Structure 1
């Protein structure tokens, strides 16, 4: 039974918190759950400095260190940056990580989430930063020859000489750098394109989030490399919506 009409705010509040009236109890539970979700989200944001702080991996290009449906916690790259981070970027490359003994997700260097070519309407990518190039640099000799897609010199690489300074990136399960071949995913990744660094993953928890993502018709199709372009694996993408 509800309080009398002349009851004050305190009586009504007490009734709303304690009543067994089914419609009110359902609404109360929904609001309570929503409040906890918002509180947890705000706490994660405060820690990570990135919104949303969790991303769901959509493809296998970071296997075996990340798998499709993994939920990954993302940190703003300048927070807790490694000592070997590239100046002003907060990102440790594979090359610098190898020298410093810095590892993340089973290999050297940071795994970064970035917007390809800085375009906000394209699905973000989650790949490892391998090395840094300066504008105009011929980076062919610095590259691992296994990951240049069979190119014989700088002129056969899509982004060599480098059109601007940035990171050369690659999925751990891919056979070529993202900046190589006719199906190159992006130019050298500028620091301002970086959303953050991947810090840890929770297996399978991203599955639910992916079910509520856009339908396959609406979602940008993953880029598939031909063997000539450097390997069969998809470009790993991260769904940047908050997990359901």
Structure 2
């Protein structure tokens, strides 16, 4: 991985680091975030013609980096950053705002939090989020990070542990009704287990296609899990 200092191109820019990957360049706002947080906490969201990485923690969500897909030149990224700024859910008593901005160009929401691109300027610009699009699906596969599954529209790169009450909950896997006590990982894949035999799954999803998972809860507290995984193409 090649590391480039933005300030080497423009001393007026903040001391940000640009990392070159195989498919993209990444401007890092939180140094070593990939070492501080597991990949399962990182969400990649498209914002206009770039992407941003957010980290989801129990304490809240933070913006950690911006991604520029190749083909793109470093000079173009520097020019972009000279012209534009990114703001994530920055607010005070008066509302959401973008600092050192001139004009708000793009607003999207992720879990209700606004992500904004604005032209650089000298003002604090307040804005409304009404009418902004809520991004319900991450874009990680676009930059070469293929998630294992989507759970209610949220990308997961590992297998979440889900427990079930077989007397009231329903599990449907590719149209088949399944009796199992919990879902967990088995050799990196999605497996369903019975507590009486936790060493081996009763069902294991071995395909390479991304798994779609929908989990809903009924008014009586029972839950319904529906899983669909397309067949791999020959």
Same fold (TM over 0.5): no
Q: TM-score range by the shorter chain?
A: under 0.3
Higher radius of gyration, 1 or 2: 1
Q: Higher helix share goes to which structure?
A: 1
TM-score in terms of structure 2 length: 0.22
TM-score in terms of structure 1 length: 0.21
Q: Higher strand share goes to which structure?
A: 2
